Each structure stands twice: as structure tokens, then as C-alpha cells.
Amino acid sequence: MYVWKDRGKLKVSTMDKIRASEPVPEQTIDPEATAITKARYDRIAPVYDLMETFEERLLFRKWQELVWEAVDSAKEILEIGVGTGKNMPYYPKDSKITAIDLSDRMLVLARKRAEVLNIKNVDLLQMDAQSLEFPDESFDVVVATFVYCSVPNPVLSLREINRVLRPAGKAVFLEHMYPENPFLRLIFDLLNPLTVRIRGANINRRTLANIQKAGLEIRVVKNLTSSGIVRLIIAKPGKEERDELNFDCNTQSIH
Ligand SMILES: C[S@@+](CC[C@H](N)C(=O)[O-])C[C@H]1O[C@@H](n2cnc3c(N)ncnc32)[C@H](O)[C@@H]1O
């Protein structure tokens, strides 16, 4: 049982203190980039689950448990970028869940998984996370796992999360991060065009900074790997959009 909720203010890592260096993207949907992302995931869908290595599968399960522990038994949950439905085994039985994805083919697989697992409390919808078709303050919790490396305009979509969350709600993210280590950064920058092509994932996104830029208030950041490349982030809806990262976080690693 991980008790991050109860931990006090801990040391802020260098990465968390630095000013976000990524330029603020245009705050409009780029239809071409969105169509490319959709086509890419439609293409990857049939092999998406096979692309996981055994190690990934083991780690992913451990991380998913942390995500869904944080979600608890919220009443109304929105999952962004549901993909093939890998989070479905963890869906709370008494919640009303809405899960969206840009890719129809990913959704076909998610529907099959829901059927196999006999999950009745999920509504699977084709939708762009950059423009959610829900009224303000519709959900208690929004969940996204490994999504903000692929959404074309992450800030726009994170703003949408801020809009659809109820004031007492929270967003729970499990995301890849740009590493702190300068050497690793160089490697990630070099590899990024390849990872985007193969898996649709940008491995050099400043997701923590993007979450703050979107106005969400980060409450918890937990390093899940020693390098800090994968993090669990919990954020509350907020009003203030910030360019600078300023929060205290729990940077303890879990192995
Ligand atoms: C790396 S996959 C992660 C899937 C799943 N969350 C998981 O953990 O296995 C990213 C998913 O985000 C979806 N996605 C990317 N951009 C999106 C957008 N603008 N709106 C909705 N879904 C999007 C992709 O279609 C893909 O299914």
C-alpha cells in the first residue's frame, strides 16, 4: 500500500524546478496532425498489445494498480485514450465510466475486451481529447495512461480535462517523461522521430509542464522508475495557467 496522499512536502527535484523549456504550442487543433495521429493508431491497433515486452507487461500492471488505487471508487470516471482497454480489468464496478479514443480501430479492440471481461459499466466513444464533447464539470476523476506522449496538442487536451472535472475532482496520469539526465535527453531527442513512427509516442514531451500550462494544479508526482522517466501524477482542477513549474512533490521511487 503506497501512502503518497499522506506524505508531506518533500524535496523538489531539479527537473521539477526548471522553467519549462518547451515552447507553448498554438492553442488550436491542428487537423492534419490529428488525422496523422488517428491514422497511426488505426494502423498500430492490431499489433499494439503484441508490441509490449514481457518486462513492460509486468511493470505496467504494477503501475496500473497505483493509478486505480488513486482513482478509488469515484462515481463518474472519464478515461482518455483508452486504446485497447488495458485499464479495463481495474475499472471500479460501481462507477459510471466513459472511455474515449481517437482511433476507431483501437476502440474495436477495447469493445472486444469489455465483452470478454463482461464489463457493462463503460461507454466507449470515438472522440478527440482536444475537444471533449461533455459539459463542464461532468466527471469526478479523469484517467490517462501513456496518452500525453501522443495527443497532438497536449495542452489543449489537458485544458479540456480541467474543464470537465468537477471542482472536487482529480486527474490521474501515468506518463512517460523527458529525462532529467542531459545525456539521456540527447538520446531521447534523437530517438523521438523513430518512436513516434513505430509507436506513436513522443518520448521527449514536458508533460509536467504541460499539465501546469493547462491550469491543472499538480498535487502528487511519483517517480516510478529510478530515472524518473515514468511518473504517476495527480492533479486537481485549477484556474491559473502557469508557464513555470512550481510545486512540491514526492519524488520517491518505487521499484
Ligand atoms: C500509447 S496509446 C495508450 C493506450 C492506453 N491508454 C494504454 O495505456 O495502453 C495512446 C492512445 O491515445 C489515443 N489518442 C491519441 N491522441 C488522441 C486524441 N487527440 N484524442 C483521443 N485519443 C487520442 C491513441 O489513439 C491511443 O489509443
Q: What is the CATH number of the domain that holds 87?
A: 3.40.50.150
Q: Is 106 in the pocket of ligand 1 (CB under 6 A)?
A: yes
Those residues with Cβ within 8 angstroms of residue 10's Cβ, 6 or more apart along the chain or in another chain: 248, 249, 250, 251, 252
Q: Is 153 in the pocket of ligand 1 (CB under 6 A)?
A: no
Strand (E) positions, 117-207?
122-126, 139-145, 165-176
In a domain, 244, yes or no: no
Mean pLDDT lowest among 17-26, 93-102, 196-205: 17-26
Determine the number of helices (DSSP H) and then strands (DSSP E) in the chain.
7, 7
| Section 183-200 average pLDDT | 87
- Could you count the other beta carbons within 10 Å of the beta carbon of residue 30? 15
Measured in Å, residue 84 CA sits from the centre of ligand 1 at 9
Residue whose entry in the numeric block shows the C-alpha cell 471500479: 92
Q: Is 79 in the pocket of ligand 1 (CB under 6 A)?
A: no
pLDDT digits 0-9 by tens, 129-144: 999 999 999 999 999 9
Look at the chain and report how many structural domains it folds into.
1
| Section 200-214 average pLDDT | 89
Confidence at 199, pLDDT banded by 50, 70, 90: confident
In a domain, 11, yes or no: no
Those residues with Cβ within 8 angstroms of residue 48's Cβ, 6 or more apart along the chain or in another chain: 41, 83, 84, 106, 109
Measured in whole angstroms, the distance separating CA 58 from the mean position of its chain's CA atoms is 19
Confidence at 195, pLDDT banded by 50, 70, 90: confident
Pairing mode of beta strands 217-223, 139-145: unpaired
Measured in Å, residue 17 CA sits from the centre of ligand 1 at 28
- Ligand 1 atom, smallest distance to 129 CA: 20
| Section 227-250 average pLDDT | 76
pLDDT digits 0-9 by tens, 14-69: 343 333 344 445 578 999 999 999 999 999 999 999 887 666 677 888 999 999 99
User: Residue 70 has which C-alpha cell?
Assistant: 488513486
- With 0.75 as the threshold, say if the pTM is over it: yes
- Ligand 1 atom, smallest distance to 151 CA: 16
**Residue 96 structural domain:** 47-236
